[in-house]
Amino acid sequence: MRDVAKFADVSVATVSRVINGKGDVNPETRKRVEQAIEYLHYKPNDVARTLFRGKSKMIALFVPDIMNPFFPELARAVEDVTNKYNYTFILCNTDGDLEKELTYIDTLQQKAVDGFIIVSSTITDEMLKKISVPIIALDRFFHSELASITVDNYQGGREATEYLQSIGCQRIAHLCGPESASNTMERLRGYMDVVRDTDWFLSSYLLSCNYNMEQAKVMTMEMLRNHPEIDGIFAANDVMAIGAMKAAEQLGIRIPEDLAVIGFDGISVGEATSPTLTTMAQPIYDMGTRAAEMLMEQIQTQVAPKTIETFPVHLLERESTKRKKVAHG
């Protein structure tokens, strides 16, 4: 910058004015400075700016694990928005581990990140207190004091279950995610409200699986052996639904003829399985976009409106439930 100033025969202050387009600069001077910048290939040092401003134009996204296909799409959406605003995007895998989250928070705040978007089941007040910049909860709800973007998980759980009924399923099991995650608990509630008062419901139709495919497969296999009467499975995410389908396949149970399977999320892998997976699709990319936009707004305006936004889910009917509709009941 000093070089530029010298070259254009002005002071660094003027160079700064030109770069930032702030303050009045004589058009001729401006031109001279611009040429000097061009000629010297000058690029402002962002670190120095950050030091002065206390803002880095970086935001971070915390996800439990990027290897679950749900999250790359979310990450992609956030990155696209941050690019639009000329921000830099930092992705952090937390493994759902509070320690890791806390470490990331410290490190990143020392680097003056301007905001956080967090997918986490382990958000604590301690954690929130540490964070002095805007923060948005995504995919999982924490409490009403924290701005959040989620889908209507309860409604989704309900619809998925009712849909299985509507295609003729008489015994519907549910694969639930980890208890700590608010989203899966809501989906469970939706399921329970449909099945609780039926004459067939058994508590052993309810499996707790940690959003994990391998585990879902093993547990489903055992359940289907003990309960051959099950003719429908609602899995709380697509990855578990795929595990359930693998289990059925291994047991020689046909999908969808003997057993209908519906997942939750709408990840594109669901199109790659055979049969393709019916699912309650979330508008994943839109949610990521919205969360990022909201964060940008909070960063720019300095106000945190604690908005709670809930997106709808929609039924994506594919092969794993494609039966002729049957009258039932």
- The site for DNA (CB under 7 A) is made up of 1-2, 9-14, 16-17, 19-20, 22-26, 28-30, 44-45, 48-49, 51-54
Phi/psi class of residue 54: alpha, beta or left (left: φ > 0; alpha: ψ in -120 to 50)?
A: left
Rounded to the nearest 5°, which phi and psi values hold at 46? -70, -25
Residue 186 partner contact from a second copy, DNA, none using kind-dependent CB cut-offs of 5 to 8 Å: none
DSSP characters over 145-156: TS-EEEE-HHHH
Instruction: Point out which residues bind a second copy (CB under 8 A).
Output: 43-48, 50-51, 56, 58, 65-67, 69, 71-73, 75-76, 79, 86, 88-93, 106-112, 213, 242, 245-246, 249, 268-269, 272-274
Of 46 and 99, the one with the shorter C-beta distance to DNA is 46
Cis peptide before 178 (omega within 30 of 0): no
Work out what residue 19 binds among DNA, a second copy, none; the CB cut-off runs from 5 to 8 Å by kind. Answer: DNA
**Contact status, residue 134 vs residue 294, Cβ threshold 8 Å:** no
Q: Which does 202 bind (CB under 5 to 8 A by kind): DNA, a second copy, none?
A: none
Nearer to DNA, 5 or 66 (CB): 5
First and final C-alpha spacing in the chain: 79
In the complex, the smallest distance separating the C-beta of residue 86 from DNA, rounded to whole angstroms, is 13
Min dist CB 9 to a second copy, Å, is: 25
- State how far the Cα of 164 lies from the Cα of 326, in Å rounded to an integer: 11
Q: Are residues 1 and 12 in contact, defined by beta-carbon separation less than 8 angstroms?
A: yes
Identify which of residues 42 and 285 has a Cβ nearer to DNA in the complex.
42
Concatenate the DSSP letters of all residues of 252-264 into one string.
Answer: T--TTTT-EEEEE
Q: 3-state SS of the chain: helix, strand, coil percent to 5? A: 45, 15, 35
Give the number of other CB atoms < 10 A from CB of residue 108: 22
Tell me whether residue 9 or residue 106 sits nearer to a second copy (CB atom): 106
- Residue 188 or residue 259: which is nearer to a second copy going by CB? 259
Q: Which is nearer to a second copy, 132 or 302 (CB)?
A: 132
Nearest C-alpha neighbor of 320 from the set 239, 227, 236, 258: 258
Burial (CB < 10 A; 0-12, 13-18, 19+), residue 169, is buried
Partner in contact with 75, chosen from DNA, a second copy, none, beta carbon below 5 to 8 Å by kind: a second copy
The nearest distance, CB 291 to a second copy, in angstroms, is 17
Name which of DNA, a second copy, none residue 97 binds, using a CB cut-off of 5 to 8 Å depending on partner kind.
Answer: none
Minimum distance, C-beta of residue 305 to DNA, in the bound complex (Å): 26
- Least gap, CB of 204 to a second copy (angstroms): 26
Closer residue to DNA (CB): 26 or 83: 26
Listed residue (259, 230, 253, 252) closest to 319, CA to CA: 259
Output the smallest distance, CB 271 to a second copy, in A. Answer: 8
Least distance in angstroms from the C-beta of 69 to a second copy = 6
In the complex, what is the shortest distance from the CB of residue 67 to a second copy, in angstroms, rounded to a whole number?
A: 5
Angle between helices 12-20 and 27-40 (to 10 degrees): 90
> What is the chain's Cα-based Rg?
26
Among DNA, a second copy, none, the one that 89 touches (CB under a kind-dependent 5 to 8 A) is a second copy
Which strand (E) or helix (H) includes residue 207?
strand 206-208
Q: Which does 14 bind (CB under 5 to 8 A by kind): DNA, a second copy, none?
A: DNA
Comparison of 29 and 215: residue with beta carbon closer to a second copy: 215
